[in-house]
Structure 1
Amino acid sequence: MAILWLGLLLGVSFLATPVKFEAVSLALPVALDVGRVTFALLAKVEWLFTATIVVAILLSPPPRLLRWSCFGALTLVLLVQALWLLPALDARVAAILAGGAVAPTNHHLLYVVAELAKALALLTLSGEALWSLSGRNAGCGRSAPASVASLPSDPAALRFQGN
C-alpha cells in the first residue's frame, strides 16, 4: 500500500501539478481550481491508504517500531495538511477565483515540504516492507519460511538424484 501511495503522491504532487502550470493555454484561475479539486480528492484517498496501512501494520509480524514511526509521521503530516494547509490554500484559491488579490505566503512551500516528508516516510515504509518480504532480515528475530526451513541441512542431500 505504501508503494502505491508513494506512486500516487509522486504522480500528482510532483509531476501532474507542476506540469499543468506549464500549459500556456490553461489560465491560472483554471489551473488553481483544478489543483484545489485534485488535492481535495487526493487527501480523501490518502486517508483510505492510511486506514489500509494501519491494518497492514497490525497484521505484520514484529518488529514494528519503524513501521509505526513512519505511519505516525504520515498521519501527522496528513493532519497538518487537512486541518491547516489545505484550508488556507483553498481560501487563497477562492480569493483569486473571486478576482481578489492575495498577499504572498509560504503556504505553498510548506505544502511542498509536507509532500516531501510524506514521500520520505512512504519510501522508508516501502523499503522496510520490501526488506521484510525479502527474507534477508531472518537474523532479526524472524524465522525462515516453512519451505526454506524444511530443506535438508546436508548439502549432499540437495544434489539432483537422477537415473
Structure 2
Amino acid sequence: MLASTQWLSWALLSAGFAAATAVLAKIGIQGVDSDMATLVRTVVIVVLLALFVKATGKWSNPVDLPPRTLLFLALSAVATGASWVCYFRALQLGPASLVAPVDKLSVVLVVILSVGFLGERPSLRDWCGLAMIAGGVLLLALPRKGS
C-alpha cells in the first residue's frame, strides 16, 4: 500500500476501535462511577502501551525529547483526559447510540482548529462533508417531539 494512503487504513482501524470503545464502555460503566471507570481504563492503556513500545523496540527516554514536544504532548494528554472524563460521564447518562455520534463533532472541530492553528486548507468538498457531519450531529442531538 502506498504511504500516501496508509493513513486511511489506520484511520478506519481507529474508527472501528472507537466504536468498540463506546459499546464496551457503556457495558463496563454500569453500576460504577464514570470517573473511576475512566481511571481503570487509563491504567490499562498505560500498561498495554508501555509493553507495546518496549516490545517493538521503540522505547527512548522521554526526558530526552525537546521541551516543546513535551509541552504539546502534555497539553494533548490533558485534553485527552478531559475528553475521556466527559465521554464516560455522557455514556453513563445517555445512550451510546447518541453519545458517540455527538462526540464525533470533534471531527468538525479538528478541521476548524487545523485551519486556524496548522494552516490547513480544506477544499469546498471537504467543507460540504463537514457540514453534513455537523448537521447529522444536530439531528441526533436535538430533542424529539414526544421524548
Q: Same fold (TM over 0.5)?
A: no
TM-score w.r.t. length of structure 2: 0.34
Query: RCO (CA 8 Å, sep 6+): is it higher in 1 or 2?
Result: 1
**Higher relative helix content:** 2
- Over alpha carbons, which structure has the higher Rg? 1
